[in-house]
């Protein structure tokens, strides 16, 4: 397999860690998964760079400078209606973006046993009349936002397992990359 260079970004920052469930935050959970994932990618000879903890437009600039083969940002969903659950992966609508999003979505659903919510285009609030979210609009490479599950849903919360989420993302990435060869 040809080696690739990947840009990865945790959702949110240490100061503003995003959604939470008890003491578990989006940022903390993202970093735990990404630490495991970077080890797995590095072991296989791929390059993974963490681009984090800034505004999304500044992050996009840094990612463009790095010029990776592709990239993603890892979030965990949350909603005031606690019944909402499942996995979704957002993309720009490009052919490669769709392919990367589908590969990640399917492997995460397969490993975690979450509900597949699909791979919508990354408009703000998923509203088609709104623009694409900044991190996807401003990145030149194929870039997606992964939302493996809802922190606000008790059954999804029980499914949290750092290794499984990491391996789910790893398999999705490798399947996408194989599909390009
Ligand atoms: Zn988030």
Domain count, the chain: 1
pLDDT in tens, 115-173: 999 999 999 998 999 999 999 999 999 999 999 999 999 999 999 999 999 999 999 99
Q: Ligand 1 centre and the CA of 176: distance in Å?
A: 24
| Residue 181 CA, ligand 1 centroid: distance in Å | 32
Copy the structure tokens of residue 117: 């919510």
Which residues 6+ apart lie within 8 Å of 180 measured at CB?
A: 96, 99
What was the pLDDT predicted at 153? 98
Which residues form the domain of 61?
Answer: 5-180
Confidence category of residue 56, pLDDT binned at 50, 70, 90 = confident
> How far apart are the CA of 12 and the centre of ligand 1, in A?
6
CA distance 5 to 164: 22
Residue 1 CA to ligand 1 centre (angstroms): 32
d(CA 84, CA 77): 9
Q: From ligand 1's centre to the CA of 96, what distance in Å?
A: 23
Distance, in Å, from the CA atom of 11 to the CA atom of 146, rounded to the nearest integer, reads 9
CA of 134 to the centre of ligand 1 (A): 13
CATH code (residue 134): 3.40.630.40
Q: Which pLDDT belongs to residue 181?
A: 80
Read off the pLDDT of residues 19-33 as tens digits, 9 standing for 90 and up.
999 999 999 999 999
- How high is the pLDDT of residue 23? 93
pLDDT of 73-108, one tens digit each?
Answer: 999 999 999 999 999 999 999 999 999 999 999 999
- Report the separation in Å between the CA atom of 30 and the middle of ligand 1, taken as the mean of its atom positions: 10
| Residue 44 CA to ligand 1 centre (angstroms) | 29
């Amino acid at each position: 397999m040809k080696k690739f260079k990947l840009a990865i970004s945790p959702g949110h920052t240490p100061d503003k860690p995003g959604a939470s469930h008890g003491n578990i935050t989006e940022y903390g959970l993202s970093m735990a998964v990404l630490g495991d994932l970077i080890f797995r990618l590095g072991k296989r000879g791929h390059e993974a760079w963490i681009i984090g903890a800034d505004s999304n437009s500044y992050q996009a600039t840094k990612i463009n400078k790095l010029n990776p083969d592709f990239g993603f940002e890892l979030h965990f969903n949350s909603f005031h209606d606690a019944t909402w659950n499942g996995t979704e992966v957002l993309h720009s609508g490009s052919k490669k973006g769709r392919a990367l999003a589908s590969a990640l979505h399917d492997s995460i659903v397969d490993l975690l046993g979450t509900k597949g919510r699909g791979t919508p285009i990354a408009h703000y609030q998923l509203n088609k009349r709104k623009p694409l979210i900044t991190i996807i609009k401003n990145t030149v490479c194929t870039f997606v936002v992964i939302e493996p599950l809802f922190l606000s849903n008790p059954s999804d919360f029980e499914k949290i397992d750092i290794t499984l989420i990491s391996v789910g993302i790893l398999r999705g990435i490798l399947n996408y990359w194989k599909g390009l060869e």
